[in-house]
Structure 1
């Protein structure tokens, strides 16, 4: 059964540097068990924490011609609509605790901040970042929860719906000219001048500590998924969306830590106009993609790689794919309709990139063979967001997310 058109263009880079052994010191310097244990304990203690569902898409797997497809559905995470709630808010907390310790307050906990202790000191701290939408929402939510101020920078093509969703958590939203990477530079410049603290999900030379905390927060989601999988059926593949690389690095590193040489083959999927990870793999070093980076997959509209994430991805990812927006639209509609008896559910534009790459590969025998995909393949997908832009979701799917949920 053909689920997607065979005429869709794509690009594929196979990574000659990928390791087939246990995780190395280069990767452990970025993400490791000790740092993960702190995030796992902390985030699970927050009010409203609950593991998100791992959907077993048996109908889709049968239609696609493989054994299993699991979809980690992050649409309900802390009520923010995406997995980003795990990273940005956790990094805000870590930063605030560090600043309070510098002021002489040792042993402060998240519970102390949630209870309003140290209110005056925290209120004098301002966190900031650039965002395509979801990370900024998480940082704003974390700032509101823990009591500090927040300024979020968005670039020219971020929708008003995503801007309003950030402002809803009390953040000041500043729109700047240019693309995501221009907004990153503006946020960093203003922070240095105005004494703000950048809580970014991308890293660059001289700025790595906070992005490391962000990625470690994401690993909580990966651990949940591993615990939810059947004991006798580990995934053979993970298809994961790109962006700056933080999510992909967290997924890659944590499955590597937990499963060692049994880890799944990791395939990164990006929009064709913002494939900075694919171009970096092609170049053998972090590369920059220029231009407006326009894509409906707004959370992946990034032209510069996180240097910290690249330390994991360079030897951890087997393959990189780039896809057109049309393929993401097809996948959103497939999930909204339900395939082969699967219950319909809501998946946003960026959430379906991994699924899109998987279905594209399965329609092309040569690519499927290169990725070692076959009837026995078991694939884990990370559904990173729900309808974080409700208007765009409705335009693409042809009905609102609420209508899809009512049918489900």
Structure 2
């Protein structure tokens, strides 16, 4: 018991067979791009079922979809490409685990590992796509690339619609949401803002200490790049540059920005894996637990709890973004003493 009235934990560990909410965004955006390319050739926008029925394979098999990823978005893109029958090239950075790379290769993607960090892999994917005529389906936006990430974010709203129903339309007082480039955080912010207006919950962005580009941007009042290795256990949040589209929303919609200590990550994963006080066990990967870890840390610090307006009446919404997307690493972390 951490002294709040209620915690809703939206568990995305079993989303399709990809074990991440990202499955909702990347594959959907791939479908949208393929519909557009078929329409350019035929003059008619095909239905998704027409693509799944392989009616346009002669067009689609010539197309190459590409992106950079920490793992989960690329897996969703690769899955979409496999379903719809086009080619896929995924760029990963030096710290992406072998298991996550193999998961994308198992879906038919060609995986290219670079020696730089995540932000450098985004730039490499974009540069190669322009040179080789590939279609970038990224979950981050940057100058000259703004439209496709909107489709990715639109895919995420499926889980938010589910959440509203599962909470019986009760409004949380607080949302603790992982940062990264800001894509899912901005989707949550915009969705709840549009739905509830002034009654919307307080939005608290949570980031790793060494990859806190949103927090630093908030301090500066404009997008800031965090340099360096971006070293964190929370691999899906190892981002040094904010998404421009996401920042446009979060700069006015986010209320607070927190970082979490790396030591809290395996401890929170273990808490969920064991089940707490009769709760069912939850499979939560490294990047899934940032929000809950931040809540627990804040409640153990009266000054932070007061600053965040947390008390015994608080109702908390937390998005558990992934399950064991690297099963071996997951087992190591939940077994750590």
- Which TM-score band applies after superposition, normalised by the shorter structure? over 0.9
Write the mapping of 1:367-386 to structure 2, written as runs, cut at 5 A: 367-386=304-323
Query: CA offset at residue 100 of structure 1?
Result: 1.1
Post-superposition CA distance 1:297-356 (Å, at most 9, x none): 000000000000001101110000011211111110110111111111210000000101
Post-superposition CA distance 1:366-391 (Å, at most 9, x none): 11111111000000000000000111
- What is the TM-score of this pair, normalised by structure 2? 0.98
CA contact (8 A) 2:36 2:45 kept: no
SS of residue matched to 1:77: coil
* Map of 1:174 onto structure 2: 112
* Map of 1:50 onto structure 2: none
Q: Structure 2 residue aligned with 1:347, among 284, 290, 297? A: 284
Does 2:306 match 1:364?
no
Write the mapping of 1:5-404 to structure 2, written as runs, cut at 5 A: 63-231=1-169, 233-398=170-335
Taking the aligned partners of 1:226 and 1:257, their CA distance within structure 2 comes to 13
CA contact (8 A) 2:212 2:259 kept: yes
Query: CA offset at residue 105 of structure 1?
Result: 3.8
CA contact (8 A) 2:65 2:81 kept: yes
Post-superposition CA distance 1:180-205 (Å, at most 9, x none): 00100100010011000000000001
Taking the aligned partners of 1:78 and 1:337, their CA distance within structure 2 comes to 23
Q: How many residues align?
A: 336
Unaligned ranges ≥5, structure 1: 1-62, 400-408
Taking the aligned partners of 2:137 and 2:319, their CA distance within structure 1 comes to 23
CA contact (8 A) 2:141 2:243 kept: yes
- What is the TM-score of this pair, normalised by structure 1? 0.81
Unaligned ranges ≥5, structure 2: none
Cα root mean square deviation, aligned: 0.9
Taking the aligned partners of 1:90 and 1:113, their CA distance within structure 2 comes to 12
SS of residue matched to 2:81: helix
